[in-house]
Amino acid sequence: MPDLPYEAYELVEHLRRTVTDDERVLTAIADTPRDRFVAEHLRPYAYEDTALPTEAGQTISQPTIVAMMTAALALAGDERVLDVGTGSGYQAAILARLCREVVSVEVVDSLRRSAADRLQTLGIRNVTVLQAGDVLGAPELAPFDAILVAAAAPSVPDALVAQLAPGGRLVIPVGSREVQELTRVTLQEDGRRTEEHLGACRFVPLIGPGGFESEAP
């Protein structure tokens, strides 16, 4: 574990007690300065275990949820991972420390550009941030060993399961716009899929293919 500011150390120890004892995941979180992914006026709160607002009406997820989703992917180090919903880039930065390659897609162009710049500034070179298109995920770059979705869908999108390699894991919030269940889908070697429910959560809705319809302004 690196030398950390006191607040960051306290957060990591809180995650160790309440979420996971996976040292690789905890070290990746410790190595990723959350204060660099929020606006300057929110930096005093960066290491609190709470979601914080970012640009374009989005949020940076609560660290507890980030740790839970990351641990659920069970990354060993040589995987290709798809990150759906780049947002600030915080989750992609953590994943980058745990796998070989991250492909991250974001529908909001301003978020995509600022996240890519932030990752570049932090010296993270194994993340490619792409503009989300008319299809969900990045099927042209599939298959992926793991997929993480940082937005809620009404059901598990078949289009994402189709982008998994055999044995791959998809972690996604599934439910209504208001409340969801964090769900892990594993694509078995024989093509069957299994689902596990990991706990209640609340995410912004996935808009577009595989998600919810956009609400009228």
Indicate which residues carry an active-site annotation: 61
Q: 132, 150, 211: which is closest to 177 by C-alpha?
A: 211
Instruction: Check the CA dihedral 17-23-27-29 and report its sign.
Output: negative
Q: In what order do the strands lie in the sheet with 101-106?
A: 127-131, 101-106, 80-84, 144-149, 164-175, 180-187, 193-201
Tell me the torsion sign for CA atoms 76, 82, 85, 86: positive
Contact 10, 30 (CB under 8 A): no
| Whole-angstrom Cα Rg for the chain | 16
Please count the other Cβ atoms lying within 10 Å of the Cβ belonging to residue 192: 8
Residues 6+ apart with CB under 8 A from 96: 102, 119, 124, 126, 127
List residues bridging with 187 in a β-sheet.
193
| Residues in CB range of 187: below 8 A, 6 or more apart | 161, 164, 165, 166, 167, 168, 169, 170, 193
Q: How far is residue 9's CA from residue 5's CA, in Å, rounded to a whole number?
A: 6
